[in-house]
Structure 1
Amino acid sequence: MKNLVRLLRYLRPSTSWVVISLVMMVLGTVIDLIAPWMLKLIFDEGIGGSDVKLILALIIGLAGIQVVKSIAMFVQGRAQELVGQNVVYTLREQLYNHLQRLSFSYYDKAQTGQLMSRMTGDIESVKNFIGFGAMAMFTGAMTFVGTIVFMAFIQWQVTLLCMASVPLLLFALYQFNKKVGPAWGQIREQMGKLTTTLQENISGIRVVKAFARENVEQSKFEERNDQNFETNMDRAKLEAKSFPLMNFYGGLVFLTMIWVGAYFVAKGNMSLGTFMAFQWYTWGIIWPLNMLGWQINIMQQAIKAAPRVFEVLDTPVDISSEAGANADTDRIEGNVSFEGVSFHFADQDPEQDAGILVDISLGVKQGEVIAVLGATGSGKSSLIALMSRFYDVSQGRLLIDGVDVRDYELEGLRRKIGIVPQETFLFSATIRENIAYGVPEATQEQIEWASRKAQIHSFIDTLPHGYDTIIGERGVGLSGGQRQRVALARAILMDPPILVLDEATASVDTATESAIHEELLEVMKGRTTFIIAQRLSSVKRADRIVVLDGGKIVQQGTHKELFEQEGFFRNLFQMQEAAAAR
């Protein structure tokens, strides 16, 4: 119920349209209640009194109020849809904005397909209830109560007898509501899993084809699709059992009215006009109760979908600009200091699990080029991620220019650190837009300058549309090395005081790597640069090399100093020299 109340709060910005919709709904309901009474007058007063003028006047009146009702229904329908769309717009905007603010730790576990399902299907279910279902339920309740009041005022004995089977219909609705809720909960969850499977398959289609796993992936999707089908069929069976029973009980109400009404007319205790009016009024009892089954369906979909949406909205943003974080990021020069820094993921127990980073102390001066080496899982990328506050340190402090990174405004901090990630991601847009992603106001000359430094300009020039070439989703159409160089140009264009190259040349050939490093020599001047690499050729120009093992710094020094020591660096050097000699 609290989720339903929370949903209804989203109606506040559309209060005026809600009021208009309610007014139109009340007007339409009143017309529905007056119309049978006018029919009664046609039979009793007009036909009974042979008053043709009265009959004509009442018929014209009926036509007139039906025109008014039609106009009211049009206004109500438009107002309801506007209210529903406003709720959807607000929810989607809030959800998307919140997803942008959530930290890396959330996305380490979140499934993209589930998030897509919540952003689309779940919010659509909420809209159907807010924009249509809730108002329809209110309309039905008003019509039901109003009809009973009018019928009782005209002939209370027949009204009470007609209501004999209504408790059975209400009980059937109660049972249906109790069972259909969990069914819709299962459907929403299964739909999220199905969307996840679809998204993963499409995103990884090249891997699927490369390993000839189409049949396996098809079987996986069919299994999810079957589960979704079965879950929907279970819900459909429930509806198939409940709705005919509700219709049967509704039919009993009508049959009872005809039988009792006809008896009272025959006995002279009720006029023919009242009998005809009661036939009309009876539908005011039957249809709200029968429609309530569908409205419960819509309500339960929203009730089961809303927690999935609110679960994301209620996820705390664990990394944001701290209160009072006002250190001037424009003055960042690039002096970086790790002081006893340790790092654990949120789901790790610091007392039992080994840290990703353990007691890291490292000072880097502005303009220094620091190479970070280590085996897979040694904590190289985590060390860099802490600088941009993708994660926060678990212990110790990380300072930039003597200021704790948590005291900088988050967006400003990240704009001062240009990163070329190990996993290159490009958007489905032009090459120009991808390179200028961090600096959308960049001129063509600036974009070309960055491209030349990244050794990608000459390739772009060979394309039919040059920088206006659309490269497709995730950079499809470019080789791994080309994507990496576009990402490198994107980072260079930001002109940051701190530059991070996380395996930035891993996908290019040795000759291109050498050319890139020659161009980067100029780019790195005066700029603090961190190079994470496995190839020693990538780090030979580094001022200092830091070797990580098990999250700890085990070696530190220049290329010459580390080569003279026993350890990871010399072993790596010897292995790569032997491989090159083959």
Structure 2
Amino acid sequence: MKTLLRIMIYVRPNAKWVFIAIAIMILATFFDLAAPWILGRIFDEGIEKSDMSVVIGLTLALAGIQALKSLGMFVQGYSQELVGQNVVFKLRKELYGHLQRLSFSYFDRAQTGQLMSRMTGDIEAVKNFVGFGAMNLITGMLTFVGTTIFMMTMQWKVTLISLITIPFILFVLFRFNHRVGPAWSKIREQMGRLTTTLQENISGIRVVKAFATESVEQRKFAERNEQNFETNMDRASLEAKAFPLMNFYGGLTFVLMIWIGAVFVVRDEMSIGTFMAFQWYTWGIIWPLNMLGWQINILQQAIKAAPRVFEVLDTPVDIENPSNGNDSTHMSGHVTFDHVVFHFADQDKEMDKPILDQVSFKVKQGEVIGVLGSTGSGKSSLIGLLSRYYDVTSGSVQIDGIDVRKYELDGLRRSIGIVPQETFLFSATIKENIAYGYPEATQEQIENAAQKAQIHSFIQSMPNGYDTRIGERGVGLSGGQRQRVALARAILMNPPILVLDEATASVDTATESAIHEALLGVMKGRTTFIIAQRLSSIQHADRILVLENGRLIEEGTHRELNEGSGFFRQLFDRQNQFAKQ
């Protein structure tokens, strides 16, 4: 019930159209109830008394009723669909907007396929109930009650005898409703898993082919597909058992009505007109109950799908934009990490080792800071805290003496240009990808950023230059080319703080050298963090931070660290030895 009430909140803004649909539905139901009564009068007042004027007049009345009903059904159908589509539109808008506000910690745990399933199939199930199922459910109930009342006023004895089978139909419906709910719950979950498997396979198709594991992936998908098939067949089995039985009882009601009615006609306790009207009215009893099975199906789909949507909507936003947040327009780029401790959301803060442990350092405006460390040392988390992708567990990260949690969130992130290790490009033109964070940039500004990223010449050599469309996730470009486009995107933003997270890892040494030469001008006066594995990437750094197991173990210039015997010197010796081989 709570789920249905929450769905109704999304229906409320469409109250006008709901009212129109209900009004027309009530009118159409009245027409349906009046038509058999008119048929009875045709037989009793027209045919039996050989009065053709009555027959013609009442027949024309029936035709007019059907015409009005058809017109009403058009308006009602349009109104219902409009309400359903508006609910879907609002739900998808809210869900997508909420996903944009959720922090990285949510997406670290969430499965893309499950989110896609909720955004599409689950919301569509809600729409089917709101736009079709709910209204037809009400129509069926009104028709059943109204038909029973009309029949009781015309011949109550025949009506009561004919309704003997109704409790059996209701019992079948009760059992069906009790069992089909869990079946639809399994189907929604299985569909999410199937979508996840499909999404992962398509996204990772290069890895699949590189390791020749197509058959493995086919078996994995076949297993998910079979589970989905079996779950759907379990649900179909419930329908196959319930619906024919309901049809049998419905048919029995019709037969019973004919038999009992005929007896009463022979006894002269029912007119032939009333008998004919009862044949029509019988369908007003049978079809609502038979349709109720399908409406329960639609209702249960919505009841099981909606909580999956609301689960995402109810996920708290743990990185909140502060009210009256500080403006970052005049940010200069002084950075301070003050005894920073950081755990991921799913870690036990008492038992698990922190990702960053008591990290403290200060960076002046315009300094170039190299960050070194082995895999898992906390380098990327350091930058994630700076941009507030995550919040610190304790301690503070400050820019210009202000805690990053006090800055207006969008402004903070626009002030930090990041070239991530895993480059992502959109299915759009190269120009649109470079200008993604600054869409109003001029062509000259875009080309200038591309030149500094050492990608301008390559773009010009492409068929349509900057208007060349690239495939999804940058398909059509090499890893190094994608990285340079991402670098141009960050440069174009002209941020006071620049972060290069393994930004030249996918380019050759010569290109890396050219990029770093070009970046000397870009980094001038700009606070820059360079996260790298290769020492050549940080040769121009003013200072180097060395992380190990989440702790800052070394800090100093290239010369100072090289004179020591720690991680930096060991890495320096290994890379020199490798270069000589």
Q: Does residue 554 of structure 2 align to residue 555 of structure 1?
A: yes
Q: Secondary structure at the match of 2:109?
A: coil
Cα displacement string for residues 115-162 of structure 1 (whole angstroms, at most 9, x for unaligned residues): 000000001111000000000000000000000000001111111111
Q: Which amino acid is the alignment partner of residue 254 of structure 1?
A: F
Look up the match of 1:258. 258
Q: Which amino acid is the alignment partner of residue 70 of structure 1?
A: S
d(CA) in 2 for partners of 1:418 and 1:60?
A: 76
Look up the match of 1:399. 398
Q: Secondary structure at the match of 2:329?
A: helix
d(CA) in 2 for partners of 1:374 and 1:73?
A: 70
Q: Does residue 573 of structure 2 align to residue 574 of structure 1?
A: yes
Q: Which amino acid is the alignment partner of residue 295 of structure 2?
A: Q
d(CA) in 2 for partners of 1:51 and 1:412?
A: 85
Cα displacement string for residues 90-138 of structure 1 (whole angstroms, at most 9, x for unaligned residues): 1010000011110000000100000000000001111000000000000
Runs of at least 5 residues in structure 1 that lack an aligned partner in the other structure: none
The sequence identity of aligned pairs, in percent, is 71
Shift of residue 328 of structure 1?
A: 1.6
d(CA) in 2 for partners of 1:351 and 1:26?
A: 63
Cα displacement string for residues 220-274 of structure 1 (whole angstroms, at most 9, x for unaligned residues): 0000000000001111111111100000111111111111100000001000000
Shift of residue 468 of structure 1?
A: 0.5
Look up the match of 2:535. 536
d(CA) in 2 for partners of 1:493 and 1:527?
A: 13
Shift of residue 48 of structure 1?
A: 1.9
Cα displacement string for residues 521-571 of structure 1 (whole angstroms, at most 9, x for unaligned residues): 000011000000000001111000000011111000000000001110000
d(CA) in 2 for partners of 1:508 and 1:53?
A: 94
d(CA) in 1 for partners of 2:319 and 2:74?
A: 48
Shift of residue 485 of structure 1?
A: 0.3
Look up the match of 2:336. 337
Q: Does residue 56 of structure 2 align to residue 67 of structure 1?
A: no
d(CA) in 2 for partners of 1:406 and 1:545?
A: 26
Shift of residue 324 of structure 1?
A: 3.5
Runs of at least 5 residues in structure 2 that lack an aligned partner in the other structure: none
Look up the match of 2:374. 375
Cα displacement string for residues 60-104 of structure 1 (whole angstroms, at most 9, x for unaligned residues): 100001100000001100110111100100101000001111000
d(CA) in 2 for partners of 1:149 and 1:348?
A: 64
d(CA) in 1 for partners of 2:166 and 2:197?
A: 46
d(CA) in 2 for partners of 1:357 and 1:11?
A: 47
Shift of residue 52 of structure 1?
A: 1.1
Q: Secondary structure at the match of 2:423?
A: coil
d(CA) in 2 for partners of 1:343 and 1:386?
A: 9
Q: Does residue 127 of structure 2 align to residue 123 of structure 1?
A: no
* Equivalent residues in 2 for 1:9-24, closer than 5 Å: 9-24=9-24
Q: Secondary structure at the match of 1:11?
A: helix
Look up the match of 1:161. 161
Look up the match of 1:546. 545
Number of residue pairs matched? 581
Look up the match of 2:462. 463
Look up the match of 2:522. 523
TM norm structure 2? 1.00
d(CA) in 1 for partners of 2:238 and 2:263?
A: 38
Shift of residue 408 of structure 1?
A: 0.6
* Equivalent residues in 2 for 1:395-474, closer than 5 Å: 395-474=394-473
Q: Does residue 499 of structure 2 align to residue 508 of structure 1?
A: no
Q: Which amino acid is the alignment partner of residue 398 of structure 1?
A: V
Cα displacement string for residues 383-427 of structure 1 (whole angstroms, at most 9, x for unaligned residues): 011011000010011110011111111001000000000000000
Q: Which amino acid is the alignment partner of residue 358 of structure 2?
A: D
Cα displacement string for residues 346-375 of structure 1 (whole angstroms, at most 9, x for unaligned residues): 111122111000111110010000000001
Q: Which amino acid is the alignment partner of residue 254 of structure 2?
A: F
d(CA) in 2 for partners of 1:178 and 1:353?
A: 44
d(CA) in 1 for partners of 2:9 and 2:393?
A: 38
Look up the match of 2:174. 174
Look up the match of 1:495. 494
Q: Secondary structure at the match of 2:27?
A: helix
Shift of residue 338 of structure 1?
A: 0.6
d(CA) in 2 for partners of 1:188 and 1:195?
A: 11
Q: Which amino acid is the alignment partner of residue 548 of structure 1?
A: L
d(CA) in 2 for partners of 1:163 and 1:428?
A: 63
- After the TM superposition, which parts of structure 1 deviate over 6 Å for at least 4 consecutive aligned residues? none
Shift of residue 298 of structure 1?
A: 0.5
Q: Which amino acid is the alignment partner of residue 333 of structure 1?
A: S
Q: Which amino acid is the alignment partner of residue 466 of structure 2?
A: Y
TM norm structure 1? 0.99
Look up the match of 1:33. 33
The alignment yields a C-alpha RMSD, in angstroms, of 0.6
